[in-house]
């Protein structure tokens, strides 16, 4: 990466991977990647080598989120350098293998872009996940995607919170991109969710092709939702959940609706004995991953975000 005038130069994004099955019961990514493994013509572009890859094959075979531990939290420096071989948890072994193939993480030899495909049971629509507010390549790509699919919506979730950010499978790449599409139950394939994910990948790969061919992208502004806080369910002294997400959270009854404003004093939880617990935070926030099934084990009812606008510098090929 280098600078020019008011812009930034990046090397061509020649090596791109598409990960499916990081969580083995999130079916859109699993099915798309399996489709493209058999015939990758749809995802190939000029000047780009795109590799579809099933990241957690044992979990996919069992149609479960993971076997031993969450693969999408396994790419820490400690795990990637851990000795032990077959004695390590399966997903840690797999993380080390993925890092050898697509990394090493943080090195010049790492893949340029990794798209990691996920489904959520939350009603959050199409969401691109950004890991750095300074990744102008990804910001420009996300701006391109948002414009390409308009008037359909695709929001951007920014997670660079020092305590809430985690070591994702996509973090091996120079430019990691997460894609969450929902709502979709675990182990289920819905055609509208499948096709929405497919369309977003098409436009993302089109952007990379245009960039590699020399197109310059002018400065742009991108609205993002920055992760602020993780909210757990209310619990008793023994750690048991005593309340559920309030039916009015998101102002969509009977379904939770992500990205709607939550203001101080708004209903947040409904206890099993009929009481309402209100949001007591400072200022308006925008909850997402509301009632995500996979996050009960992680003691998370939803995360709050704050809406802001990021400005991305112009970019062009170095």
CA dist 168 → 118, 183, 270 (Å): 12, 21, 33
- 2 assigned binding-site residue: no
H helix intervals, 4-158? 27-38, 57-62, 77-80, 90-102, 136-149
- 168 assigned binding-site residue: yes
**What pLDDT, on a 0 to 100 scale, did the predictor assign at position 239?**
96
Instruction: Copy the structure tokens of residue 3.
Output: 């600078």
Q: How far apart are CA 211 and CA 231, in angstroms?
A: 39
Backbone angles phi, psi at 251, to 5 degrees: 60, 30
Helix (H, G, I), strand (E, B) or coil at 233: coil
CA dist 77 → 82, 108, 263 (Å): 8, 17, 38
- 167 assigned binding-site residue: yes
- 295 assigned binding-site residue: yes
> Which top CATH class is 8-225+312-317?
alpha beta
Percent with pLDDT over 90 in the chain: 92
Q: Tell me if residue 180 is catalytic.
A: yes
Same fold, 8-225+312-317 and 229-304: no
pLDDT digits (tens, 9 = 90+) for 109-158: 999 999 999 999 999 999 999 999 999 999 999 999 999 999 999 999 99
Q: How far apart are CA 42 and CA 36, in angstroms?
A: 7
User: CB of 112 within 8 A of CB of 14?
Assistant: yes
Say if residue 303's pLDDT is above 70.
Answer: yes
Q: Name the catalytic one among 61, 78, 97, 180.
A: 180
Helix (H, G, I), strand (E, B) or coil at 135: coil
- 97 assigned binding-site residue: no
Q: How far apart are CA 136 and CA 124, in angstroms?
A: 24
**What pLDDT, on a 0 to 100 scale, did the predictor assign at position 1?**
65
Domain boundaries, the chain: 8-225+312-317, 229-304
Q: What is the CATH number of domain 229-304?
A: 2.20.25.160
Q: How far apart are CA 118 and CA 127, in angstroms?
A: 10
């Amino acid at each position: 990466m280098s600078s020019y005038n008011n812009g930034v130069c990046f090397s061509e994004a020649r090596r791109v991977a598409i990960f499916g099955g990081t969580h083995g019961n999130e079916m859109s990514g699993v099915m798309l990647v399996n489709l493209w493994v058999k015939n990758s013509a749809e995802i190939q572009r000029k000047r780009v080598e795109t590799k579809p890859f099933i990241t957690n094959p044992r979990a996919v075979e069992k149609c479960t989120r993971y076997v031993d531990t969450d693969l999408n939290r396994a790419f820490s420096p400690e795990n990637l350098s851990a000795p032990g071989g077959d004695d390590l948890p399966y997903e840690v072994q797999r993380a080390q293998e993925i890092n050898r193939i697509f990394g090493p993480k943080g090195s010049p030899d790492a893949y340029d872009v990794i798209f990691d495909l996920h489904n959520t049971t939350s009603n959050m629509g199409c969401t691109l996940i950004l890991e750095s507010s300074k990744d102008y390549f990804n910001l420009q790509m996300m701006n391109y995607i948002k414009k390409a699919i308009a008037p359909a919506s695709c929001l951007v979730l920014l997670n660079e919170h020092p305590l809430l950010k985690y070591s994702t499978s996509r973090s091996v790449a120079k430019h990691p991109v997460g894609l969450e599409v929902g709502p979709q139950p675990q182990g289920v394939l819905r055609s509208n969710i499948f096709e929405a994910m497919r369309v977003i990948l098409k436009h993302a790969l089109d952007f990379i092709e245009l960039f590699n061919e020399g197109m310059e992208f002018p400065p742009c502004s991108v609205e993002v939702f920055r992760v602020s806080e993780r909210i757990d369910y209310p619990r008793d002294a023994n750690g048991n959940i005593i309340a559920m997400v309030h039916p009015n959270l998101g102002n969509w009854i009977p379904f939770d609706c992500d990205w709607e404003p939550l203001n101080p004093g708004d209903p947040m939880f409904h206890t099993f004995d009929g009481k309402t617990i209100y949001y007591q935070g400072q200022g308006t926030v925008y909850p997402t991953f509301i009632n995500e099934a996979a996050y009960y084990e992680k003691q998370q009812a939803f995360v709050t975000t704050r809406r802001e606008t990021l400005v991305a510098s112009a970019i062009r090929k170095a």
